[in-house]
Amino acid sequence: MPSSHFLYALYILTALLAVVKAAGLPSKIYGVNLGSWLVLEPWMLPQEWLDMGGQQCGDCSTCIASEFAFAKAYPNTVDAIFNKHWSTWFTQTDLDQLKAAGINTVRIPLGYWIVEPLVDRTSEYYPKGGILQLRRGLKQIRDAGIAVILDHHALPGVQSPNQMFTGRCTKDVQFYTPYNYHRALIWSGVMTALSHLDPAFRTVASLQAVNEPIMDANQTPGYGQFQKNFVQVVRAVELALGIPVSGVAPLSVVSSSRNVTAALSAASGLPNLFNSEVRQVLQDMVPVLTKVALQLTLDLNFDQQGLKVELRRKSPLITNFMDVNWQYNNPSNPADAKIGPQTYDNHLYYSFGGVADANEEAYMTHVCNLDRIEKDAALGNTPLWFGEWGLSTQFTASDAFLVKWADAQKYSYSKGAGWILHNPNVCARYIKQ
């Protein structure tokens, strides 16, 4: 359950309220991650995880310390147990507190398994039903007028070794392969379609391609091409739906198609629509989207309630990537993938070390002279927001310093597109009333 200090933490960590623009993000983002909601990271809720039936261990790959391990250990009860967690970890009360505190944006970490047809149930183990909880939460967020970034947080095949945030703790990283790149692109196409078709998704403004890939670019073969394919899949789906994309001619197949799947199928056969992988994704996502639409009771016919007209008035999603400086060893530049609106994300945790010396003066000096926004802008990675940050430190911090530390981070990160706190439920643990 969320901490009783939830509201207190938010009031310390938020700034002035900004108004959400229609069909987009606020001019300045003051946000939070809904971490451990639909991608559960046991370290964030240790006692609840144990109460659910999970375990704790030094090496998370050796015990029940991830969603994958939990679902494998409890195949008959995992769905009901996780549904209870989803229902209680993020509630209307939490949302009311976010709104009251001035939060105008939420970033929602998602696993690929939320699109259930993508999961190979013979070898992959995850809870089912998350898409229904996502829709429930998005309706509430929409009604609160808060913008949403959908973050592909846990990728098929796992994108980083031994990390709970990938949904499976393992050293066997398989995301950077053609098979799993393809599955991730189908996921991206389905999420793009849902964001434009389902009224619950109305305030979804941005889709993030990959959360925190391996930092060493030598270990992420094919990632640069994936970045380009991701943007092209998002734009191809939007074009198939009849949504205008700046600089790209509209597709004639839309006017002759009676429903969304027919338009996607027709678009997949156009030889000049991006590359062959993108066209194959459009074809392969049709049965996946059909199944998800049935699960959500979502009508995919264009003739319902003037859907075609509404789609022509929509704005394209904002594609989002971890910034180029997230990686080293000659990384690909996501700016090269840009078609239409695009933004960039940087994550900064001083408590992990390697940023500043472990004392108050060093922390404040570094963050008040932060140059990441300028360095990214020089490489075309702008606008930049700080999509994860927190209050934790490498030293014992006083309450007074934590307030000052929060203010200093907000000040520096707001020089860019804004900031998104890692997790208010967790940050509250670091604040004492």
| Residue 180 domain boundaries | 6-430
Is the pLDDT reported for residue 305 higher than 60? yes
pLDDT for the residue 172: 98
Confirm whether 124 is domain-assigned. Answer: yes
Asked whether the CA dihedral 200, 26, 188, 193 is positive or negative, the reply is: positive
At 336-387, the pLDDT tens digits run 999 999 999 999 999 999 999 999 999 999 999 999 999 999 999 999 999 9
At 44-93, the pLDDT tens digits run 999 999 999 999 999 999 999 999 999 999 999 999 999 999 999 999 99
Q: Give every CB contact of residue 227 below 8 A, 6+ residues apart in sequence.
A: 209, 321, 332, 334, 336, 337
Q: Give every CB contact of residue 294 below 8 A, 6+ residues apart in sequence.
A: none
At 96-127, the pLDDT tens digits run 999 999 999 999 999 999 999 999 999 999 99
- In this structure, the number of other CB atoms found within 10 A of the CB of residue 352 comes to 10
How buried is 215 (Cβ within 10 angstroms: 0-12 exposed, 13-18 middle, 19+ buried)? middle
pLDDT for the residue 426: 60
Give which of 325, 415, 420, 428 is closest to 367, Cα–Cα. 415
CA distances (Å), origin 278, targets 186, 234, 254, 258, 384: 9, 9, 18, 22, 27
For the question of whether the overall pTM of this predicted structure is more than 0.85, the answer is: yes
pLDDT for the residue 303: 87
Confirm whether 192 is domain-assigned. Answer: yes
| CATH (domain of 66) | 3.20.20.80
Q: In which element (H, E) is residue 109 found?
A: strand 105-111
Contact 175, 48 (CB under 8 A): no
Confirm whether 1 is domain-assigned. Answer: no
Dihedrals phi, psi of 92, to nearest 5 degrees = -60, -35
Token representation of residue 183: 């599955």
Place of tokens 């060093």: 362
Mean predicted confidence (pLDDT) in 257-265: 96
The residue type found at 348 is L
User: Domain total for the chain?
Assistant: 1
Confirm whether 15 is domain-assigned. Answer: yes
Confirm whether 110 is domain-assigned. Answer: yes
Contact 390, 349 (CB under 8 A): yes
Confirm whether 201 is domain-assigned. Answer: yes
At 389-412, the pLDDT tens digits run 999 999 999 999 999 999 999 999
Contact 332, 223 (CB under 8 A): yes
Token representation of residue 400: 């007074």
Range from 251-260, 283-292, 421-430 that averages highest in pLDDT: 283-292
At 134-190, the pLDDT tens digits run 999 999 999 999 999 999 999 999 999 999 999 999 999 999 999 999 999 999 999
CA distances (Å), origin 173, targets 32, 60, 65, 167, 371: 28, 15, 17, 12, 32
Confirm whether 323 is domain-assigned. Answer: yes
For residue 245, give the DSSP letter. B
Is the pLDDT reported for residue 15 higher than 60? no
Confirm whether 331 is domain-assigned. Answer: yes
